Amino acid sequence: MKCAVVMVVDGLRADMVSAPLTPALARHGDAARRFVRHRCVFPSATRINSASIATGCYPGSHGLAGNAIALDDGTGLKPVSVGPPGFRDLLRRATGRTLHRPTLAERVREHGGAVVFSNSSAGSAHMQDPDGHGTLYHRDGSFAPGLTPITGSAHLDVSHDGAGDAATVERFCEAFQSDDTTALWVVWICERWGSASPTIRSTCSSSARPRTVTPCAPPTPACAESSTRCNAVAARATTCCWCCAPITVTKRSTRSFPSPN
């Protein structure tokens, strides 16, 4: 059975995907389709974008507007972080639901299902499948369909660092290779600093704070629209770090799934 695989490296800038720094990803991109004008949604926060990746919708549609939001628990509005493991249940109690739009896990539930391995924050992981349509593995709680807890050795018991990311990917690969029925696979890692090579860490450190703010040469359409936000990060850079650099996406599945009602 054909399937789709989504891998998210949280915080890995698109301009870091290059032959000298990430040769495997660069080779993969050269053989795949690259979406050079891909953008995150605004606000550009992890948990919001997790919900947008899962639903294909903007925050105004899926309902999660920030990494922290205001919820009324019966005693008035209070600021609540989306990150902790208990946020999903708190959101459901306060509003009667989680996300306002169906996730990919919900859409493929009757067509092979979804499996998510995540080493991000619990809130970000839960936004991939907040209502338990598929299987989710996360260090703060793993769940089978129906939000049935997964315990013991089957639970994803990893650390929140580069070693935990490596263990998450290893578990993901083991599960993927032994399963030919699941339609959607998602793996999300986030510790780009701890697991990165010295070359990548050095380059990231030198370019994390842009030294100049200039449009690309020659300007791309994206830069023409927002030249003041186009950050040339280093003398060696041939494209800007956020507004122009390519992101690689590969589509493996040719299967179609039902549209939302």
- pLDDT at residue 218 above 80? no
Of the CA atoms within 13 Å of residue 179, those in its CB half-sphere come to 18
pLDDT at 191: 61
Closest Cα partner for 172 from 221, 114, 223, 231?
114
pTM: 0.74
Residues 7-62: tens digit of each pLDDT = 999 888 888 888 998 898 899 889 988 888 888 898 889 999 999 999 999 999 99
Residues 101-141: tens digit of each pLDDT = 999 999 999 999 999 999 999 999 999 999 999 999 999 99
Between CA 98 and CA 86 the distance in angstroms is: 12
Q: Under a CB-based contact definition with an 8 Å cutoff, are residues 149 and 136 in contact?
A: no
Q: Give bridge partners of residue 184 from the DSSP assignment.
A: 4, 114
Q: What is the mean pLDDT of the chain?
A: 78
Kindly give, in sequence order, each residue whose CB lies less than 8 Å from that of residue 87, ignoring residues fewer than 6 positions away.
80, 81, 122, 123, 126
Q: Under a CB-based contact definition with an 8 Å cutoff, are residues 131 and 62 in contact?
A: no
Kindly give, in sequence order, each residue whose CB lies less than 8 Å from that of residue 23, ignoring residues fewer than 6 positions away.
none
Q: How confident is the model at residue 250 (pLDDT cuts 50, 70, 90)?
A: very low
